[in-house]
Amino acid sequence: MSGDFSTYMLVASAPVLSARAGYVMLSLFSVLWIALGIWWGRRAKSYDGFAVAGRNVGLALGTATAVATWITSNTTMLAPQFALQLGLWGALAYATASFGLFAFAPMSGRIRQLMPKGYTAVEFVRRRYGTLGTVPFLIISMFYAITWLISMSMAGGKLLNILSGIPYPVGMSVVVVVCVLYTLFGGMYAVIGTDFIQSLIILVGLVVVAIAVLTRIDITDVHQKLSADRPMLLSVFFPAALMSLFNNMLFGFGEIFHSNVWWSRAFAMREGVGPKAYALGGLIWLPVPIVAGFLGLAAPALGIGVSQPDTVGPMVAATLLGWGGALLVFVVVFCSLASSIDSLLAATSDLMVNDMIEPLLQREPSDIEKRRTSAICIVVLGFLAWAVALPNRGTLATVLFFAGPMVGSCIWPIVGGLYWRRASPIAAMLAMVLGSLFGLIAYFTIGWFVSSLVGAAVSAVVFAMGVYLSPDDFDFRTLAGTDGRVTGEID
C-alpha cells in the first residue's frame, strides 16, 4: 500500500435511492428540524437563554448533546475512511477521540466553578492570559470552527449525492440553510433539544445498520480477503496507521479542550452535571467509530468500488442493505450532520459576539443587541461555510485535519491555565504559535496523519520551557469574580 491512499480507488456505484426519494426525505427532515427548533426556542427569551440555555441543562439532555455533537458526519464517514486507508489501527484511531470527552469531564466542572457566568473559551483565555494569549487562541478557534463547519457542509452534499444522486451543490445548500434557520430561531435551547432527539435516532440507527451488515458479511471471508490482497490493512506495524492513532487522539483532546462548542455546554449545564454528562457521553460514543470503521474494512473485501474514500461507509451500508439500508444511513448521517452544524453555529456566534464584536464596541451592549448580533453572526457563518464548501475540493480528512496542528497546540495552554497558577501568557502564546507552525510544516511535508501529533508535542515542550523561564503567579479568584478561594489549582 503506497503513501498515496487514493491509488486504489475505483469507480463509484450508482445511487441506491432515487432522486425523488432523496428529495422527499430531505424535505421531511428539513421541516421537522426547523419546527423543533422553533418549538424548543420558545424558551430563549433572553440572550442568556439563547447562548447557554439558561445554565440549567440537566444530565439527560447534557449527555445527549455531548453524544450527538461528537457523533458527527466525521464519525460516520471518516471512521470508515480511516479503516479503508489505514486498516484496523485506523478504526481504533478514530475511537481514541472518546478520550477527549473523558478528559474534559472533570475540566467541565472546573470551568463551571471558575467562571459561573462565563460564555466562551476565548473569554477564559482573555482573563487568564491577557491579549498575548488571546490573539493566537482567537485565530485558532475561529479557523477551526469554520473548518469544521465546512467539512460538515461538504459531508451533507456528498452523502445526498452518493445515496440518492441529488447534486452536491443542492444537497449541501439545503443542509446548511436548514441548520442556520432552526439555530437562528432557538439558539442553544433549540440546539440541545434537537440534539436529544438526534442522538436517539443516531444510536438506534447505527445499531440496526451494524446488526444488518454483520448478518450479511462473513467476518472470516473479510479477513481472508484482506490478508491476501491488502495485508498492510491488518498489520500492527503499519507506520502511517500507528502515527494516526496518536495523532487522532491528540486531535480529539485539542478539539474538545479549546472549542467553544464544548465550553458553551459546560456553561449551559447545571453545576455538577458536566463531569457526569461528558463521561457518559464518552462511554456511549466509544464503540460508534469502531462499528462504522468496519464498513470501511469490508469495502475492499466485497469489491465495492469507491471514487471518494470519505463516502465508503454510507456506500457499503447502502449496497449491502439495499433501499432500506440507504434510507437508514440517510437518516443517521443527516442527524449527525445537523447535530454538529447547529452546535458550531451557536457556539461560534457566541464567540463572535462576546470576544470580537463586544470588545470593539467598548461598552456593554443590551440584551436585545446581543441577541440580534448573534443572529447576524449565525447567518454570516452559514454563508461562509456554504461558499467555501461549494467547490467540493479535498476529502473530509484533509479539510478537517488541516486545523489539527492548531488545536493540538492549545491542549497545554488550556490545561495549564485551568489548573496551574504558574502558567504564563508568554508560555501560552509561544506554545500555540510554535506548535501550530511546526504542525503545519509536518502536515505539508509528511501528511495530515501526523500534524496534530507534532503540533501537540512541540507545544508541550515550548509551554514547559516558557513556564520555567517566565512563570506567572495567577490568582484564580479573579476568574470566579468572588473573594472565595477556588480550589484545584497547582502551586
pLDDT digits (tens, 9 = 90+) for 357-392: 988 887 778 888 888 899 999 999 999 999 988 887
Whole-angstrom distance, CA of residue 256 vs CA of residue 250: 10
Q: What's residue 134's pLDDT?
A: 95
Q: Is 291 left (phi over 0), alpha (psi -120 to 50) or beta?
A: alpha
96-118 burial: b if 16+ Cβ within 10 Å, else e: bbbbbbbbbbbbbbbbbbbbeeb
Distance CA(9)–CA(13), nearest Å, equals: 12
Q: Which of 30-39, 176-185, 392-401, 456-465 has the lowest mean pLDDT?
A: 392-401
Q: Residue 3 domain-assigned? A: no
Q: Is residue 305 part of a domain?
A: yes
399-424 pLDDT, tens digit each: 667 888 999 999 999 999 999 999 99
Residue 461 inside a domain? The answer is: no
If you search the block for the grid coordinates 418549538, which residue do you land on? Answer: 39
> In the numeric block, which cell numbers belong to residue 232?
498492510
Query: Is residue 484 assigned to a domain?
Result: no
Mean pLDDT, the chain, integer? 82
- Per DSSP, 487 falls in state P
Question: What is the reported pLDDT for 470?
Answer: 93
Q: Give the DSSP H or E segment for 110.
A: helix 98-114
Q: Is 56 helix (H, G, I), strand (E, B) or coil?
A: coil
Q: How many domains does the structure of the chain reveal?
A: 1
Q: Is residue 404 part of a domain?
A: no
- Whether 134 is covered by a domain: the verdict is yes
pLDDT at residue 333 in the model: 76
Q: What is the per-residue DSSP string for 9-21?
A: --PPPPPSS-HHH
Domain that holds residue 200: 10-395
The pLDDT confidence band at residue 482, using thresholds 50, 70 and 90, is: very low
Predicted confidence (pLDDT) per residue in 346-357, tens digit: 889 999 999 999
SS3 133: helix
What's the gap between Cα 405 and its chain centre? 15
Closest CA to 75 of 151, 150, 164: 151
Write the CATH number for 390. Answer: 1.20.1730.10
Mean pLDDT of 52-58: 87
Q: Tell me how far apart the alpha carbons of residues 246 and 237 are, in angstroms, rounded to a whole number.
A: 14
pLDDT at 305: 63
Do 278 and 104 form a contact (C-beta atoms < 8 A)? yes
Give the DSSP letter of residue 481: T
Residue 73 falls inside a structural domain: yes
| pLDDT exceeds 60 at position 484 | no
Q: What is the pLDDT of residue 459?
A: 97
When pLDDT is averaged across residues 422-432 and rounded to a whole number, the result is: 96
What's the pLDDT at 449?
A: 75
In this prediction, residue 310 carries a pLDDT of 62
382 occurs within a structural domain: yes
- Is the pLDDT at 122 greater than 70? The verdict is yes
